[in-house]
Amino acid sequence: MVREILRLGNPALYEKSAPVTNDELERMRAVAVDLRDTLLDYRKRHQAGRAIAAPQIGVQKRMIYLQTDQTIVLINPVLSFPDGEQMEVLDDCMSFPGLLVRVMRFKRCTVRFRDLEWNEQKLYFEGDLAELLQHEYDHLDGMLATMRAVDNRSFFFV
């Protein structure tokens, strides 16, 4: 089901999400379907969007839906950064369409997570996918790109 994407200023976007427990897995499968439907609807309307975090649809759980060349559902992800090298990027978000924010992100990251079968997984990302994952992970901690702006001149309307 397509869900409303919470917008910048909604207090729920600033809350830290709770971990998913094994007994919530069936509910999380339904949330994953809603995340997929919502992302695909956003893509259709805006020709953008590669990932969405559960808090963006009002579900305060640590879950990310990523759809690029493959679909990955990340439950309780934990990020690490192998070398600390950073890059400056213009970040956008479905929660504030039309606004770009200049932020610093790590060039590479490793993520450990559970999948929808509750199996432990580990993936490595670099470049734009590393940036994307960090952006979505921030949503799980109630952090928006606007809060990571390089400075007060880092905001651009498109």
Active site residue 117: no
Give the separation between CA 120 and CA 126, rounded to whole angstroms. 20
Q: Coil, strand, or helix at residue 52? A: strand
Cβ distance 43 to 49 under 8 Å?
A: yes
93 is in an annotated binding site: yes
Residue 138 has, within 13 A of its CA and on its CB side, a CA count of 20
Residue 117 has, within 13 A of its CA and on its CB side, a CA count of 4
109 is in an annotated binding site: no
Binding residues, by number, are 93, 135, 139
Binding residues for Fe cation, by number, are 93, 135, 139
Which residues are identified as catalytic?
136
